[in-house]
A and B are shown apart, each in its own frame.
Chain A
Amino acid sequence: MRQGFALPPQSGKTILVLRPSVRVAEQSTGGMAEPRAEWTDQARRHIDAALVELQRQLGNRVIAAPEAYGEDARLVAEHQALFAAVSRAVIEYQFFVGNRLPTKKRDNKAGQFDWSLGPDVAKLPGADQADYALFLYTDDQYGSTGRKMLQIVGLVAGVGVSSGVHAGYAGLVDLKTGDLLWLNADFQMGGDVREADGAMKRVRQLLEDFPGSTIAKEAAAPAATAQAKP
């Protein structure tokens, strides 16, 4: 969480919930992700439904982003792609302590969390009616175990790696500055998003530490078992 940021329940702030960015692919032996439209459609439906259910528990006023068309739709998609790239950078270079960047080490020591999408977020449809935007992004690739190992080794070696196989990122962004205020991001999340139960589990995991929310963590024992699966 960004230093100095707090979001108590019923704070009077409004959160713009963007439609989640969802992608499900099959990973070939060669490592290429081949998008699977029917899996992605299923996952999108289930994740949308789970979010409608859970966003009531976020603890603050929530509005859904208006349906975007044309140039607006392109702007939303580009911001979602940027949000995902920033999330990956945070995981690789901040959450993974052994891989931190020397220029950011001083910040990290002081507990600083300083990442941004930039001020163009203010142009997103619906931004003028809210204080913050909630971004949700999932990228799932169902593929071979060997490929997964290669990606982890690649990550450790610091070479460019694709996002992983069950990546999920949830982030709260200040709609004036673009600053990332809170982020929950993981390359290996639980829940098979192609099924309703799995999608609910995924969205719950993404939002479980959301500031000011009453979204309970899942019962520890079954969740731990399920999450331990590759």
Chain B
Amino acid sequence: MMSRLIAALAVTLIVALLPSAAMAHKLREQGVAVSIADSPLTVTPGRDWNRLDGNVGKHTETWTLDGGQLNDLTFFAGIEPGKPLVRERSKKREPLPKFGAGTLLVELPELFEATYRTAKQIADFRVTDVQPTRFLGQDGVMFTYEYVDQDQLTRKGEAHAAIVAGRLYMIGFDAPRLHYFERNIGDFHRIVQSARMS
């Protein structure tokens, strides 16, 4: 049964690859500084990670260890005023809230929550903590959250954000509340601490 699935997917893959470049998830090596989404933001991971092919929006990158379902580390690297955090599926039917020139640090958890509710089509989302922090060498905000996704699994998350030269820089980590969040929150903190503007 599995071989048939793989065969079917392989055929689909070949067809899908014809017009475009090969898809591939890229290795992000321990100790090697990398810039994020062609922005001035660089991080130096404390262990090997995978950068997933594709992105959820302009100026974003998603990294994982075991797959997006189990650990999702997303960088928002310089969201411009007037733009949403992630790509809008439909500007008319499902508009996303926008980061604005007047958006305050303290309003970022709300922007994040509203984005998740619409983009992921979830009803159950709670911000569980909001704290001032230092991020990228300046005043920032750290917040934690918990939500139930479409797959009925409860996930926990934490994000660190700052506004630099009018643009939003944020790193968030989401993982299932069971096992996965606690197992890798330390690896996420290492990345947050390593974040610099070049």
Residues of A within 8 A of B (CB): 32, 77-79, 81-82, 84-86, 88-89, 91-93, 95-104, 115-120, 152-153, 155-160, 162-163, 178, 184, 186-189, 205, 227
Report the separation of the CA atoms of residues A10 and B140 in the bound assembly, to the nearest whole angstrom. Answer: 60
Tell me which residues across on chain B come within 8 A of A32, comparing CB atoms: 121
A102 touches B12 (CB 8 A): no
A116 touches B12 (CB 8 A): no
Report the separation of the CA atoms of residues A40 and B11 in the bound assembly, to the nearest whole angstrom. Answer: 33
B54 touches A158 (CB 8 A): yes
Given contacts A82-B153, A86-B70, A103-B50, contact A227 B1 (CB under 8 A): yes
B5 touches A78 (CB 8 A): no
B16 touches A118 (CB 8 A): no
Tell me which residues across on chain A come within 8 A of B178, comparing CB atoms: 78-79, 82, 117-118, 120
| Min CB–CB distance A185 → chain B (angstroms) | 8
Report the separation of the CA atoms of residues A32 and B89 in the bound assembly, to the nearest whole angstrom. Answer: 14
Given contacts A117-B179, A158-B25, contact A81 B50 (CB under 8 A): no
B10, closest chain A residue (CB) = A98
Apart from A89-B68, A184-B1, list 15 A-B contacts with CB within 8 A: A78-B177, A86-B69, A92-B67, A96-B6, A101-B64, A102-B27, A103-B50, A115-B66, A116-B179, A152-B8, A155-B9, A156-B9, A156-B16, A163-B151, A227-B1
Tell me which residues across on chain B come within 8 A of A159, comparing CB atoms: 54
* B131 interface residue (CB < 8 Å to A): no
- List 24 contacting pairs A-B, 8 Å CB cutoff, sorted by A: A78-B153, A81-B152, A82-B153, A85-B153, A89-B68, A93-B66, A96-B6, A96-B9, A98-B23, A101-B66, A103-B49, A103-B65, A104-B66, A152-B12, A153-B12, A156-B9, A156-B12, A157-B53, A158-B25, A158-B54, A178-B179, A186-B5, A188-B5, A205-B1
Report the separation of the CA atoms of residues A178 and B183 in the bound assembly, to the nearest whole angstrom. Answer: 13
Tell me which residues across on chain A come within 8 A of B13, comparing CB atoms: 98, 156
Tell me which residues across on chain B come within 8 A of A97, comparing CB atoms: 6
| Min CB–CB distance A107 → chain B (angstroms) | 11
Tell me which residues across on chain B come within 8 A of A116, comparing CB atoms: 179
Report the separation of the CA atoms of residues A159 and B50 in the bound assembly, to the nearest whole angstrom. Answer: 14
| Min CB–CB distance A95 → chain B (angstroms) | 6
B23 touches A157 (CB 8 A): yes
